Amino acid sequence: MGDSLTISGPRLMARLQTLGEIGALPGGGVCRLALSEEDRQGRERVLAWMHDLGLEVSSDAMGNLFGLRPGLEAGPPVMTGSHIDTVRTGGLYDGNLGVLAGLEAIETLNDAGITTRRPLCVAVFTNEEGARFAPDMMGSLVYVGGMPLEEALATRGIDGERVGDCLDAIDARGSDPVGAPDVHAFVELHVEQGPVLEETGVTLGAVEKVQGISWTEFTFTGTSNHAGTTPMRLRHDAGYAAMATATFVRELVTRIGGDQVGTVGSLEIAPNLVNVVANHARFTVDLRNTVNQQLAMAEQELADFVARLAGQEGIQVERRTLARFDPVPFDPAMVDLVEKQAHALGHSVMRMPSGAGHDAQMLARVCPTSMIFVPSVGGISHNIHEFTSPEDLEAGANVLLQVLLALSE
Ligand code: GLV
Ligand code: MN
Ligand code: MN
């Protein structure tokens, strides 16, 4: 059943463009931070589409949204989906593609009059990005029982706002319980967000695993003083220490090599003036590796460096873990299925790890899971110029449809 069904590329593109208008940035791209007014509008749009498609809509206490299409039989659904929150400089596809390709698959089945044996469900998970509220993948993490709801709701964002208050402010707190989902299988379509598929000339990725993620926030406290009169030997310079740590992170990950990456993406110093030694610095370190042992080694070296530096510079250090997830392998049979369906549709496909974090890595805790990747032009993502060709989006969505059909029979 459904072997020759194909999704509508133009309809998928139209929805991507329409959603992309919510929080649109002047030069292109989107700012739709989790639980912002733009997120509220995006949710409203997606919920309207879900209703139009005849889905049974629900939401849980974490604000995750679900559109269920009943099957011939009751029982746990085959689930797909992703997120619609973005980083502050996001593209049109990150997350949005997974949600809207799920809706496109549903509309294709509606048009063909096909009812699957198992129910199908399209999920929109709250705060995947973690750009405003850490950790990333927060909604799916709570959904699978990996973080207590109360802890998530009490989390404060970069603006000091609390998740629970922001959920209420946009009226997104639902009534379904979280923590013990019953899902038959999960598959997520996503843009690769890296250069591998494009550089290899392959259309699709069958994602085998997601690399481990470690986010730490450091706060350094020194002494502000006059930039002209304070001898170097008397300085307790929090700004210098932060920047020395950033340099160390680059040296460290280069030395470790392999898949190790490291980023200092957020840095603030105070009083942030030309002629004052900074007494305060707060910055984040994002470390990732597909091999957990190497990731742990990088974390340890960073901690040792910071302790040594603090002693030498005479500054105080506070550290806070914002996110820590081990690498996640996906279900081999699910990876095989993605590969098989891609081949059956005549597309080139390769097995690959994911460099970015995804809701699928949380769902993998409770059900067989895998992902489908489509190429990102220039390997660019978390950037307003993120782009994937309509042909590749269509290819990915058609494979998603066939994987959903196979899983739901
Ligand atoms: C979140 O999606 C991340 O990988 O940073
Ligand atoms: Mn994403
Ligand atoms: Mn992202």
Ligand found nearest the CA of 355? 1
Residue 109 token pair: 């089945």
- Name the strand (E) or helix (H) holding 197: helix 196-200
Can you give the pLDDT at residue 4? 85
- Name residues with Cβ closer than 5 Å to ligand 3, which is an ion: 94
**Digits of tens for pLDDT over the chain (409 positions)?**
567 899 999 999 999 999 999 999 999 999 999 999 999 999 999 999 999 999 999 999 999 999 999 999 999 999 999 999 999 999 999 999 999 999 999 999 999 999 999 999 999 999 999 999 999 999 999 999 999 999 999 999 999 999 999 999 999 999 999 999 999 999 999 999 999 999 999 999 999 999 999 999 999 999 999 999 999 999 999 999 999 999 999 999 999 999 999 999 999 999 999 999 999 999 999 999 999 999 999 999 999 999 999 999 999 999 999 999 999 999 999 999 999 999 999 999 999 999 999 999 999 999 999 999 999 999 999 999 999 999 999 999 999 999 999 999 9
CA distances from 234 to 213, 222, 226, 314, 315 (A): 38, 11, 11, 9, 12
Can you give the pLDDT at residue 380? 97
Q: Is 298 helix (H, G, I), strand (E, B) or coil?
A: helix
Q: How many CA atoms lie within 13 A of 69 on its CB side?
A: 30
Q: Are 276 and 224 in contact (CB under 8 A)?
A: yes
Q: Is the dihedral of CA 15, 20, 22, 26 positive or negative?
A: negative
Ligand found nearest the CA of 263? 1
For residue 91, report the distance from its CA to the centre of ligand 3, in Å: 9
Going from the N-terminus, what domains does the chain have, and what CATH number goes with each? 9-211+327-408 (3.40.630.10), 214-325 (3.30.70.360)
d(CA 88, CA 374): 22
Q: Determine the atom of ligand 1 nearest the C-alpha atom of 94.
A: 2
Residues with CB under 6 A from ligand 1: 128-130, 136, 356-357
Can you give the pLDDT at residue 9? 98
Q: Determine the atom of ligand 1 nearest the C-alpha atom of 193.
A: 4
Q: Determine the atom of ligand 1 nearest the C-alpha atom of 128.
A: 2
**Amino acid letter, residue 177:** P
For residue 94, report the distance from its CA to the centre of ligand 1, in Å: 10
d(CA 139, CA 179): 11
Can you give the pLDDT at residue 1? 55
Ligand found nearest the CA of 96? 2
Degrees to nearest 5, angle at CA 213 with 210 and 219: 165
pTM over 0.85: yes
Q: Determine the atom of ligand 1 nearest the C-alpha atom of 95.
A: 2
